[in-house]
Amino acid sequence: MLLIRPIESSDYESLYSCAIESGHGFTSLPVDQTLLERRIERARQAFRKEVVEQPGDEGYLFVMEDTGTGEIAGVSGIEAAVGLTESFWHYRLGKVVHHSEKHNIYNALETLTLCNDYTGVSELCTLFLREPYRRSLNGRTLSRFRMLFLAQFKERFSDWVIAEMRGVSDDNGDSPFWQWLQQHFFSMDFPKADYLSGVGDKTFIAELMPRFPIYTSLLSEQARSVIGKVHDNTRPAIRLLESEGFRFRGFVDIFDAGPTVEAEVCNLRSVRHSRLVPVKLVETVETEGLEPHIVCNTQLQNFRAAQVYCQPETNELAITTEQAQHLKLSSGDEVRLVAL
């Protein structure tokens, strides 16, 4: 069984392996022991915080564990509210018009403007599934269970949620967009800038990033061509989020120009279609004729989620005693579920 649960201190080695395997451009998983240990402790504090009146600087981090082997298959996270303790930067795509009525000239030009418009919104982040587990519905489960967590603990999150998509870069970690910025404004390569941002050293952004809108027509052809585009490995992730209702509204990452997508939490497909049903314990569950669902308990510190099979629109979830033990459930407990 692949079980999703809050991260623990003992998961550090696995998280470090995920950070290495995730490669360049994965800012939220820096290959840095101190930062990863701090990320784990911050998550543990968030899960222990019993009362939250409004979303703050809580960061919830989960792992997907293979209960048969104890191996960590992947990691996934949610930030309650970004930009409250340090600036959360984006470029906003816009337009300016240069018009001369006298000379009958009209030019609508695209611009990139540095902004902090997403300050205070929640963020889906740190989604990474290790290669041996990229099969079946595992990736979909590891991403979508977060919608159930948002629905169950809505008081802990903003009404809006975003997700930053990894932009285009090559195998060496070089980004065509950053190469243009580096040439004109910076003296560091993309991996270094990406790493500094990941470890929280973002002062160089305000110090060196151009403060005025940039006309995209002044960028190199290679840099212009990747604005709002995702890395090949990220295409499945953005398709899944789009199916949930996320949309691109013109905000891109300041390093690789990857798109940031947004949605209102109450309009997310999995939030709208999720529901609470009671649990019934049975000896066995015959999966023939049943459909895969994501299920989670309603606990915070002992939160558990997994993929199960049940009848569509069932009013009662039948699971085995073993499944119930993994999910921290007893007969009659309520669970939240949604069809995969």
User: Among all residues, which ones are annotated catalytic?
Assistant: 231
- Comparing CA positions, the residue from 338, 164, 331 lying closest to residue 234 is 164
- For the record, the structure tokens of 99 come out as 């018009």
Pairing of strands 317-320, 334-339: unpaired
* Cβ atoms of residues 120 and 57 within 8 Å: no
- The SS3 of residue 141 is helix
* 3-class secondary structure, 154: helix
Q: CB pairs under 8 A, 24+ apart, for 197-200?
A: 197/27, 197/255, 198/26, 198/27, 198/28, 198/29, 198/30, 198/32, 198/35, 199/30, 199/32, 199/35, 200/35, 200/86
Closest listed residue to residue 181, CA positions, set 225, 214, 217 = 214
259-264 vs 275-282, strand pairing mode: unpaired
- φ and ψ of 57, to 5 deg: -90, 30
Show Cβ contacts of residue 325 under 8 Å, excluding neighbours closer than 6 positions: none
Please give the DSSP secondary-structure letter assigned to residue 10: G
239-256: string of b/e by CB count within 10 Å (b at 16+)?
ebbeebbbebebbbbbbb
Which three-class secondary structure state does DSSP give residue 159?
A: coil
Asked whether the beta carbons of 238 and 212 are under 8 A apart, the reply is no
For every residue of 66-112, DSSP letters joined together read ETTT--EEEEEEEESSTTSSS---EEEEEEEEEEETTTTEEEEEEEE
